Chains A and B, each alone.
Chain A
Amino acid sequence: MKKLVPFLAACLLLVLSSYIRPMAGYQVGDKAANFKLKNVDGKMVSLSDNKTAKGYIVVFTCNTCPYAKAYESRIIDLHKKYASQGYPVVAINPNDPAIAPGDSFAAMQTQSKSKSYPFPYLFDETQQTAQTYGATRTPHLYVLTRQGSSNDFKVSYIGAIDDNSEDAKLVKTKYVENAMTEILAGKPATTNSTKAIGCSIKWRKA
């Protein structure tokens, strides 16, 4: 019986140490769920709207996070570079404005207008999309690739934009661009999952 105690303690610890939200979410290769979210122009946007897109660069981001701000112009550049090659950016703000007032829908409209976002900026009001995708922080990026001519999309890359959030000029590895080069060539990305620091998504208090 005495030997059982450390064993049970170890089990408890195992349970404790896996207490990380959200455990679910996508891995590379998973089928990505469609969504229908309100854009800053008031129209609903979903993955199935754009029939010509080969895929999407979906970025969970927001107005307020310093990391999201640091990457804002780089996200615009990604759209400029890849939209014409069939992979437009779709930005999604998943934050609860009750916790982050600067991430309200009205503030999103102001932000998107002032920086002339060339892509939709969607509000994930229920946070369902961020939870389904397994986003934990802003920015958190997913490259989705259309399967054949269907409306099914597969996750081809998850993670960071590049290796230097503070200074775009000091970037050595452009993680998402490297992945895009391979994806556009019809190959799986060699480095398909990367990590980055970001602001925790402001989940609605239960």
Chain B
Amino acid sequence: MNFLKLTALAAALFVAGPSPAHAQQVALIKLPELQKRLSRNTDTTYVINFWATWCAPCVKELPYFEQVNTTFAKQKVKVLLVSMDYASQLDKKVKPFVAKRGLKSEVVLLNETDPNSWMDKVDGKWSGALPFTLIINNSKQKRAAFEKEFTQPELTAAVQQFLK
């Protein structure tokens, strides 16, 4: 009986647990691809968070970004999580992390080595500290940069500003 229960539990866990086959892909992208994303001329508000698996404050606020998808499910809002982990850590760290957390937002890894050559092209106000977040709505010509950690209410309020 106990064995049966255990088997059932194991089966349930197997079904409920993150299955690598269904885990989202994490694309490696270069700067031009990211710039293209930042400059898309649509009425969608993009919330772009730069983070890394090794960055404790980033990991702490990831659920708030995930929550944006739910809170603004009926509005044109899209979250993009840009990992600043090294490309060499994609399979070892980033993909397992994304699968384990079951992240629903799109995740990409910016595969560039020399931040001094590209950071200003992402945003001149970014000094290089993580986490860093951009909120952009190009058709409304609105853009805001935040080199800080968010609380959930702060993030919700910041996104709300773009939907008025």
| Chain B residues, CB < 8 A from A20 | 125, 127, 145-148
A160 lies within 8 A of B115 (CB)? yes
Assess whether B147 is in contact with A195, with CB atoms less than 8 Å apart: no
- Please, how many angstroms separate the alpha-carbon atoms of A170 and B128 in the complex? 21
Quick one: given A195-B120, A199-B129, are A17 and B57 in contact (CB under 8 Å)?
no
* Per-residue contact bits, chain B 94-128, to A (CB 8 Å; 1 contact, 0 not): 00000000000000000001111101100001111
Distance A166 CA – B86 CA, assembled complex (angstroms): 7
State the total of A-B contacts with C-beta under 8 angstroms. 86
| Cβ contacts under 8 Å, A170 to chain B | 113
B68 at interface (Cβ–Cβ under 8 A)? no
Residues in chain B within 8 A of chain A (CB atoms): 54-57, 84, 86, 88, 113-117, 119-120, 125-131, 142-149, 158, 161, 164
Complex-state Cα separation, A200 to B114, whole angstroms: 18
What 0/1 readout, one digit per residue, does chain A (1-45) give for beta carbons within 8 Å of chain B? 000000001001100111111000000000000000000000000
B157 closest partner in A (C-beta) = A16
Q: Cβ of B146: which chain A residues have Cβ within 8 Å of it?
A: 19-20
Count, chain A residues at interface, CB 8 A: 33
The docked-state distance in angstroms from the alpha carbon of A66 to that of B56 is 11
* Residue A55 interfacial (CB < 8 Å): no
14 contacts between A and B (CB under 8 A): A9-B164, A13-B161, A20-B145, A20-B148, A100-B56, A136-B128, A137-B128, A163-B113, A163-B117, A175-B116, A195-B115, A200-B55, A200-B131, A202-B57
In whole angstroms, what is the CA distance A166 to B131 when docked? 19
